[in-house]
Structure formats: C-alpha cells, structure tokens
C-alpha cells in the first residue's frame, strides 16, 4: 500500500475520523473526570499538528505571500473591523454578567494564529498566505484587544491584557514548528532517507488533527460543569458567531476581489479564534474561575465542530465574479 494511497484514504475519511475522535474524547471525559489532567498535552499536540501541516505548505513561497498587500488588507479588515462589529452586536444579547461578557469578548476578538493554518489547508484554502500573515495577526491583536475591551467593557478590563501568552504561543506553535519544517525540507533535498521520512510525515496531518481534537475535548469538557449557567448563556452567541463570521470573512474577501483559495483563507481566519492562547489571560482575571475559563472553553468546542463543517463547505465557495486566481 503506497503512502499516497494512505494519504488519499485518510483525507477521504477525515470527517469520520474527526467525529470518531470527538466521540471517544467525550466518552473518556464522561467515564474519567480526571481527563482534565491531559491539558499539558494540548500544546505538544498542537505543535505536532502545525509542524506536519507546514510540511505540506510550500514554505519557499512565504516571502511572496507576505508581500500580498490585498490579501493582508482583507484579512485585517475582516478580523479587526468586521468581526469586532459582529461581536459587539452579538454581546448585546448577553445578560449583564461582567465575567461572562469578558470571557466572550476575550475569545471572540482574537483571531487564531496556530491550528487555523491546518484547517485552512484541509479546507483547500490558501494556507501559505495565512501562515505568512500570522506574525501580523498576532501583533495586531495584542495591540487592539485592550482597545476593544476598553470600549466595550472599560479600562480595567483592558489592563488585563499581557503579551506573554501571545509571544509564548508564537514561539511554541508557529516559529518552532516552522523552523523544524524548514529544516526537514532542507534535509529531504540532501538524501533519500530524509526524503522518505518527510514523505511518511505527510501521512500525519489527519491523525495529528484527530489527536488535537481528542486531547482538547477530553481535557476541557470536565471544566464545563463548574459554570453550567454561564456556558448555556454563551452557547447561542458562539453558534451565531460560527455561522456569521465565515460568511462575513468571505464577503470581505469578495470586496477585495480575492480568488477562491484566498477568499476561503479569510473566511477561515475570521471564523477561527485564539481560544487556547487567550486562556492564560482569562485565568489571570480576579475572580474569573470558574466562569471565564469555562466560557472560553465552550467556544473552543463549538469552534472545533464548526471547523469540520467548514472544511467540507469551504471548497464549494466560488471565486468572486470575474476572478480566477487564487
């Protein structure tokens, strides 16, 4: 059985694999409440998933993608203008609980910079352009999150934003895997053994994504029972966001006349949030536990299920009229 056959088979059955991983994780979380102890495995699993995804992305083209002003402009408008307006509208429907509001704002105002690249790749979007944009997305959200919180909540909430979690995530989940992927590709050009190893690693994106789904869900589900009321109030907001945000991103992409693959990438970015990175900030909020972390974790679960829908629907999105490039 050839590696290419195995890869095609995994990609063909990826949705069934992912839902199997989710079902298994839920069963483990129900039968073993201590599954929350798996939380330290989240970052290593994410780093592995991002690494094997980077092996599939033509890294030599990143410099060109980084200079694509039209794509970067669409990404900025989508994430830092359109999405905040959507979030401001949605939170009007929340009850007047400041901790609940803070948790929802923390997670929905920060675009993802790690596993979004993997789901973007699986959804046949322009993963290399999105990957090239991650430093800018990270810097922009670090600068703008305090501004948004100051406007929507108050200056005290804005002061809670610290750069350390963002920088740690960038080093561990972007820069580190990217450097390893670049080194592996360089070695692959130097010898047959390394080339074969890199080829075999190409089988891992789907299993690695399934591993992330399992670890994240098994470790975070036990936390939800600690703040059930707040979780149930936030849930409709997250579902509405999961429906509206990718459509909003795609409309922004059409406004910038982007091709199909770049339009999908903008949609993935506006729909995918930085929940796992923002969690340390939430834990630093006085009196946050258990409401704020539970509210953020709920968004993670809604998002992961939504991503499985996006990767099936995104390839059906067509280019803007008159545009054929991607």
Q: How many CA atoms lie within 13 A of 151 on its CB side?
A: 10
**C-alpha to C-alpha distances, 114 to 28, 259, 317, nearest whole angstrom:** 26, 23, 23
Query: What's the rounded Cα separation, in Å, for the pair 292 and 289?
Result: 6
Q: Which residue in 245, 297, 250 sits closest to 90, CA to CA? A: 245
Max Cα separation, the chain?
62
Residue 111 DSSP one-character state: B
pLDDT score of 318: 56
State phi, psi for 272 to the nearest 5 degrees.
-105, 130
Residues constituting the chain: 326
Query: What's the rounded Cα separation, in Å, for the pair 105 and 269?
Result: 17
> Helix or strand or coil: residue 91?
helix
pLDDT score of 317: 66
pLDDT score of 148: 92
Annotate 21-32 with DSSP letters as a single string.
Answer: HHHHHHHHHHH-
Q: Which residue in 80, 115, 102, 93 sits closest to 248, CA to CA? A: 80
Q: Which residue in 272, 264, 321 sits closest to 124, CA to CA? A: 264
Per-residue pLDDT of the chain (326 residues; tens, 9 = 90+): 677 778 778 877 888 898 899 899 989 988 887 877 888 888 898 889 888 888 877 777 777 778 899 999 999 999 999 999 999 999 999 987 888 999 999 999 999 988 898 899 889 999 989 988 888 888 899 889 989 988 898 877 667 677 788 788 788 888 888 889 888 888 888 778 878 888 888 888 889 989 988 988 888 788 777 788 999 999 999 999 999 999 999 999 999 999 999 999 999 999 999 887 787 777 777 777 788 888 988 898 899 899 999 998 988 765 444 444 43
State phi, psi for 240 to the nearest 5 degrees.
-60, -40
**Cβ contacts of 262 within 8 Å, gap of 6 or more:** 68, 71, 74, 125, 126, 129, 253, 326
* Domains in the chain, CATH or no CATH each: 38-316 (1.20.1530.20)
Query: What's the rounded Cα separation, in Å, for the pair 264 and 247?
Result: 10
Whether pTM > 0.75 for this model: the answer is yes
Q: Give me the residue label for tokens 């997305």.
A: 137
């Amino acid at each position: 059985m050839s590696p290419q056959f195995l890869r095609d088979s995994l990609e063909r059955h990826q949705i069934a694999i992912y839902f199997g991983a989710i079902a298994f994780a839920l069963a483990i979380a129900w039968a073993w409440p201590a599954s929350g102890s798996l939380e330290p495995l989240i970052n290593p699993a994410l780093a592995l998933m991002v690494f094997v995804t980077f092996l599939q992305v033509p890294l030599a083209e990143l410099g060109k993608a980084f200079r694509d002003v039209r794509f970067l402009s669409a990404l900025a408008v989508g994430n830092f203008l359109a999405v905040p307006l959507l979030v401001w509208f949605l939170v009007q429907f929340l009850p007047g609980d400041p901790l609940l509001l803070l948790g929802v704002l923390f997670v929905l105002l920060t675009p993802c910079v790690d596993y979004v690249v993997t789901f973007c790749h699986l959804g046949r979007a322009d993963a290399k352009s999105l990957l090239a944009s991650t430093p800018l997305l990270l810097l922009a959200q670090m600068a703008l999150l305090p501004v948004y919180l100051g406007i929507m909540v108050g200056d005290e909430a804005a002061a809670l934003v610290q750069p350390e979690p963002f920088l740690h995530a960038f080093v561990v989940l972007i820069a580190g895997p990217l450097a390893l992927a670049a080194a592996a590709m360089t070695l692959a050009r130097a010898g047959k053994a390394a080339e074969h190893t890199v080829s075999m690693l190409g089988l891992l994106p789907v299993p690695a994504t399934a591993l992330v789904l399992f670890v994240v869900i098994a470790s975070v589900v036990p936390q939800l029972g600690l703040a059930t009321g707040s979780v149930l109030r936030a849930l409709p907001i997250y579902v509405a966001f999961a429906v509206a945000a990718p459509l909003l991103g795609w409309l922004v992409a059409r406004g910038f006349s982007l091709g199909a693959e770049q339009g999908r990438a903008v949609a993935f970015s506006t729909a995918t949030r930085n929940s796992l990175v923002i969690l340390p900030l939430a834990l630093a909020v006085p009196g946050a536990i258990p409401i704020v972390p539970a509210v953020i974790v709920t968004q993670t679960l809604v998002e992961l299920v939504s991503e499985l829908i996006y990767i099936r629907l995104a390839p059906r999105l067509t280019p803007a009229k008159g545009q054929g490039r991607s």
